[in-house]
Amino acid sequence: MEIYSAKPLIAVFVSMVASILILLSDKRPNLRESWSILASIVKFAIVVSMAPTILNGDVIVFKISEIIPGFVELKFRVDPFGLFFATTSSFLWILNTLYSIGYMRSLNEHAQTRYFACFAIALSSTMGICFAGNLITLYVFYEILTVSTYLLVAHEESAEAFFAGWKYFMYLLGTSVLQLSAIIITFVYAGTTDFTLGGVFGSISPTITAILLVMFIGGYTKSAVMPLHSWLPTAMIAPTPVSALLHAVAVVKAGVFSILRGAIFIIGYQNLLHLSTPFAYFVSITIILASLFALAQDNLKLRLAYSTVSQLSYIVLGALLTPVGMVGGIFHIASHAFGKITLFFCAGSIYVSTGIKNISEMSGIGRKMPITMLSFAIATLTMIGLPPGAGFISKWYLALGTVEEGNLILLAVLLVSSILNAAYFLPVVYKAFFSDADNGSGSESGIKEPSPFVYIPLLLTAIFSLLIFFFPDYFLELARMAVGG
């Protein structure tokens, strides 16, 4: 049953309003950051308040406007899939806001008002993507997300940062024509762009299915599927909280969310059956190659960036498997978010306390920063897929999906990639805790945990990555409902 409510509208625009209040509080840092914290808490509370309705099997709708009757309609529709992503992103915004305060103040970063305002707009647009009722609404909020996060990527205002911002902007905005093409083709063949479980086409030819799938993957370059991934490592010039935002809460996560939206709710599972295997092999190449690239990186943020390229391809792979595999792909949106944001928080914590960026310089640092590095170690369990990390659950369902498909090659890809995950994460943990300090880096007496605003959020995200393993019911139920299970 559809229930008409303004809750999704309020959830989307509460942080947009906060961005205005943040700008007006430029000369009062404490008030400025209080608006950010208050808005993040209010947003999460509104999102959670919709959970009982959605878990009951209903959906919440709100029509914004009908620009061109019968075609261009902006509307929100909260269903299990949208609520799944909204719960994850709105909760992590609270912790990322607290972390940002500690990080930006510790480094005495410039333009903090602009930073927090753009951050709020980015979360507003992410929520719009979560609750988009059709391709048009999703497209509009995607463009808002691109513009607001460009300013965050280029925050440093150096030549390197401006290049990274330009590359980011050109990649993401430049593929908008593919998104629009997919929207037009969908409307021409289906007469609607509304998201509908099972798709809107009934049945279409394999050729049209392939064209649409290529357009969705190409148009949503934010998912960083190879070979459209190079903007993501370049964007690591941004402040660490922005990197965490790009990887865990918005942008690339919104990208794979949108691919699943297009695949499951526009094209439809029955049409994907004809093409799932070749596209799954294509995505598998990204899973393996990105892991190999990660192995070669000494810069910690770059290693994490290539890890994201690989890990997000698990989510895309899920859309090409059986419904069980789809559940695994959807669940990985949450498990990866909590694990990866922890890892980036840890990278930022290390940088704030020591100025160190490279793994080769981190010998013995775990003995000086035990909270940070213990949290890093916990998060690696999720990335590798080992219990009690939340990633074990998503990879388990993905593996079941490959077995149901009868595709042992894809199963082998998952297993090999997990081994590669261990190969590029565990040496960091070993070096931090068990290697003797060298070059004075790990033994320097001044090294200690940074501000509580930095280490408490990363400890909490690490703990939640464990709690999701032990208490997965909420996310699992939403994921099953999202695929009609």
Q: What is the pLDDT of residues 53-64, one digit of tens each?
A: 999 999 999 998
Q: CA-CA distance, 209 to 180, in Å (whole number)?
A: 16
pLDDT in tens, 311-346: 988 998 998 888 999 999 999 999 999 999 999 999
Range of weakest confidence among 144-158, 293-307, 333-347, 419-433 = 144-158
- pLDDT for the residue numbered 260: 87
Arithmetic mean of pLDDT over the chain: 89
391: pLDDT confidence band, cut at 50, 70 and 90? very high
Average pLDDT over residues 2-28: 95
In whole angstroms, what is the distance from residue 386 CA to residue 393 CA?
9
* Number of structural domains found in the chain: 1
Q: How far is CA 67 from CA 5, 64, 73, 127, in A?
A: 20, 10, 6, 21
Asked whether residue 264 is assigned to any structural domain, the reply reads no
pLDDT value of residue 438: 58
Mean pLDDT along residues 369-380: 96
Q: Write the single-letter amino acid at 381.
A: L
Three-state DSSP class for residue 78: strand
In a domain, 428, yes or no: yes
Q: What token pair was written down for 88?
A: 């994850």
DSSP-derived pairing of the beta strands 2-4 and 72-78: unpaired
The whole-angstrom separation of Cα 143 and Cα 219 is 12
Residue 410 is part of which domain span?
271-485
pLDDT at 443 over 50: no
Q: What confidence tens digit (pLDDT) does each residue in 52-95 have?
A: 999 999 999 999 887 777 667 899 999 999 999 999 999 999 99
Whether 332 is in a domain gets the answer yes
220 pLDDT higher than 70: no
Q: Give residue 485's pLDDT.
A: 64
The DSSP element (H or E) to which 22 belongs, if any, is helix 7-24
Q: Per-residue pLDDT averaged across 205-228, rounded? A: 72
pLDDT of residue 163: 92
Evaluate whether residue 276 is within a structural domain: yes
In a domain, 36, yes or no: no
Is a pLDDT exceeding 50 seen at residue 194? yes
- What is the DSSP secondary structure assignment for residue 158, as one 8-state letter? S
How many Å separate Cα 480 from the centre of its chain? 20
Q: What is the predicted pLDDT for the residue at 441? A: 45
Against a cut of 0.85, is the pTM above it? yes
Residue 4 in any domain: the answer is no
Contacts of 207 (CB under 8 A, 6+ apart): none
Statement: residue 440 has pLDDT above 60: no
For residues 121-132, give the mean pLDDT.
Answer: 94
Alpha helices, DSSP H, located in 273-322: 276-295, 300-318
Domain annotation covers residue 149: no
Taking the C-alpha atoms of residue 373 and residue 162, their distance in angstroms, rounded to an integer, is: 32
**Sorting pLDDT into bands at 50, 70 and 90, what band is 436?**
confident
The verdict on residue 102 lying in a domain is no
Take residue 370 and report the two structure tokens written for it. Answer: 């035990």
CA distance 407 to 420: 20
What local confidence, expressed as pLDDT, does residue 209 receive? 79
Backbone φ, ψ for residue 239 (5° rounding): -55, 150
Residues 431-464 as b/e (b if ≥16 CB within 10 A, e otherwise) read bbbeeebeeebbebeebebbbebbbbbbbbbbeb
Rounded percentage of the chain residues whose pLDDT exceeds 90 = 60
Pick the range with the lowest mean pLDDT from 86-95, 421-430, 433-442: 433-442
**Closest C-alpha among 257, 289, 240, 274 to residue 450:** 240
Closest of 12, 17, 140 to residue 74, by C-alpha: 140
Structure confidence at residue 44 (pLDDT) = 97
